[in-house]
Copies of this chain bind each other. A is one copy, B any other.
Amino acid sequence: MQPGSLTPFLAPQGVAVIGASHDPTKLGYGLARNLVQSGYTGGVHFVNPRRGSLLGHPVYASVAEAPDPVDLAVILTPPPTVPQALEECGQRGIRAAIIASGGFREVGSEGAALEARCVEIARRYGMRIVGPNCIGVIDTHFPLDTTFLQPPGPARGEIAFLSHSGAICAAVIDWLRGQGLGLSSLVSLGNQADVNETDMLAEVAADPDTRVITLYLEGISQGRHFVEEARRITRQKPILALKVGRFESGRRAAASHTGALAGSESGFDAAFLQSGVIRAGTIEEMFLWARALAWCPLPHGTHVAVLTNAGGPGVAASDALEQQGLQLASLSAETISTLQEILPPAASLHNPIDMLASASPEQYARCLKALLEDPGVDSILVIAPPPPMFSAGGVAKAIIPVIQAGEKPVIVTLMGDRLVQEGVEFLRAARIPEYRFPEAAASALAVLARRAQDLDCPEEALLCSTDVDIPRVKSILSNCRPGEFLSQEAALGLMEAYGIPTLQLRLAATPEEAARLAIQEGFPVALKVASPDILHKSDVGGVLLDLGDAAAVSQGFDAVIRAARERRPEARIEGVLVQRMLTSGQDVIAGVVSDPQFGPVAMFGSGGVEVEGLHDVAFALAPLYPRDAERLLDKTWAGRKLQGYRNLPPADRTATRLALAHLAQLAADFPELAEIEINPLRVLPEGQGAFALDVRARLKK
């Protein structure tokens, strides 16, 4: 076994329970009981100074006495005694410990110090720790249960569950039993003094009994490491994540639009997208999806057939499918004629297929078979409200062999409770997902389609240009002060160094100079007040556009200076910047902001001064993969509009994606940049490029 291996946590050869108790009201008894009752076949060693025997196993006064094999310790003793227990484990040669006890970092600074001591001891022995303040680990296949929870534990299943919250583990285990859903493994991560979500993710992903991984996260410890691991794992197995604490941190203070719009969740959203992790909104949704992903084949497309015995549920199903971005399949003439043979004349043969209330189990089965054989049908939603003449159990029994013989996903909606219970149980035993309402079924079908699409995408390389001038950026940044915004010239210099086209900005100190520069650059020109203290220049009347001749420019010079002086008397004003104006194209915003957990995150969308109000923006982790750049454009109206809209001709999408990629690369190469924002990026008609017209960039403090 590798030093530092996590294998003993899920597949130990022998477990020492330090703090095992004879008192059935104590958690230390529950832990011992669960370990024994789980059917664990390795060495079981209870440790308690009072010795004796417990549940048929000897109790040792110290872990030193425990005989081989023993490679995992579970510690559930009062917090002050935990460091000593760890020491003894280290001396006994144990290299993995679950600290179940609470009373560490979560209760304040004294507890944090105690936790630090534990980590220090573990480091010394090369020992890995799960916890403290956790409820331990369960593997239903190995089997192993190191928790102290009230029985029964989870049923055997294909889903791994990793959680930052122990209480959620307890609730999920009990709730899943009622849902007829099992787990392959469960890990309560607690305070993560050592082993974190990413470490354990890789461990459970390697488990052949796990088909789907579910995560309950309150944060992510090593953002980029998580993304890399998850991206690798999701090529093999789906990962579903529920991240809570969405609203806790609020928006961070930021001077740019990009920063203001990038709430703390933008980083998580971008990270999950790039790593292929499917983000759920609630625990119910996560396991609704997990059930389908664990039990169903993947569909080859998004066309769904709906088979039901009443009109109302069919309409509700159509709504739900459409809302999920799925389509009702058009049935082939052959299928329709087969259905016609099976069903009475008043039945509706067009998708959704309404077999009428008289539909028998046999009719359900025969129609389902016909639909499975239709090449235009990718997946099927079967719905049965309590049938007036037959039992839902009979329907379930009839369709199960048909579903099992097919290779397409079939999801069943049994609407009701007691009257459909027998059918529910048949379907659960056959590992066919069933839900009570069509909305849940449609959501499950959608996640299957999404997973199929994700796997269809070939692996990509990061967008990374070699034609960048790193020394030039270094030199520019070395002249800038931490926490402050770069001058416009410096910011444009960054663009040029990374191959993002700009328009020259020429500084004029007098009206005459401005006019002369405008003649050199070509009309029309824009004038912008030059001041290191004025960020939102148009807010102070510091921008004049479309000046068509020299006279307008020299008058404009005075107007801009006057307006800026009036509105911001304290600002240092260096003159006026003259810039040629591009008279065609579309304006968008492109930015990058540094996320505390994930580093640089790129933003794209509708720019201008109203960017924060319109909120037409999307985010992606920087640097970008080609798919990220595509997505940024597809997800925003600003990006879709680049394809042409009404009198707007198609704009240069290729140049836009390139600018985004280079901007993201710049931010990734220079993590000292807190934010960069191009607003606007002017995208010219196809083939003519995209220009950074105004750029703001700020160094971290």
Contact = CB atoms under 8 A, between A and B. Distances in A.
A520 to B, nearest CB: 25
A610 to B, nearest CB: 7
Interface in A607-629: 609-610, 613-616
A554 interface: no
Given A148-B388, A178-B417, A416-B170, A637 B613 contact: yes
Interface in A79-99: none
29 contacts: A27-B388, A102-B357, A103-B346, A108-B346, A150-B388, A165-B315, A167-B309, A167-B312, A167-B357, A168-B310, A168-B313, A170-B386, A171-B385, A171-B386, A174-B386, A175-B417, A178-B416, A244-B312, A244-B319, A246-B323, A247-B319, A282-B437, A282-B439, A283-B316, A284-B436, A609-B647, A610-B637, A613-B641, A614-B614
Interface string A329-354: 00000000000000000100000000
A640 B613 contact: yes
A13 interface: no
Contact of A107 (B148, B315, B346, B637): B346
Interface stretch (A197-205, A363-371, A486-494, A532-540): A532-540
A20 interface: no
A541 B646 CA distance: 11
Interface of A: 25, 27, 102-103, 106-108, 148-150, 152, 163-168, 170-171, 174-179, 216, 218, 244-248, 281-284, 309-313, 315-316, 318-319, 322-323, 346, 357, 385-386, 388-389, 415-420, 436-437, 439, 536, 538-541, 606, 609-610, 613-616, 637, 640-641, 645-647
Nearest to A638: B613
Nearest to A358: B102
A244 B218 CA distance: 36
A167 B315 contact: no
Given A150-B386, A388-B148, A313 B417 contact: no
Nearest to A645: B613
Nearest to A311: B165
B175 A436 contact: yes
A439 B357 CA distance: 35
A174 B418 CA distance: 6
A106 B437 CA distance: 24
Chain B CB count within 10 A is highest, among A108, A179, A309, A418, for A418
A540 B248 CA distance: 50
Contact of A647 (B166, B538, B637): B538
B315 A539 contact: no
Given A165-B312, A174-B386, A218-B312, A637 B609 contact: no
A563 to B, nearest CB: 10
B165 A313 contact: yes
A422 B54 CA distance: 31
Contacts of A174: 386, 415-420
Given A178-B418, A315-B245, A416-B175, A647 B167 contact: no
Nearest to A438: B282
Contacts of A282: 437, 439
A538 B645 CA distance: 12
A411 to B, nearest CB: 16
A247 B323 contact: yes
A162 to B, nearest CB: 13
A319 B283 contact: no
A174 B312 CA distance: 16
A157 to B, nearest CB: 15
Contacts of A436: 175, 284
A311 B385 CA distance: 39
A547 to B, nearest CB: 13
A527 B131 CA distance: 73
Contacts of A244: 312, 315-316, 319
Contacts of A322: 246-247
A385 B323 CA distance: 32
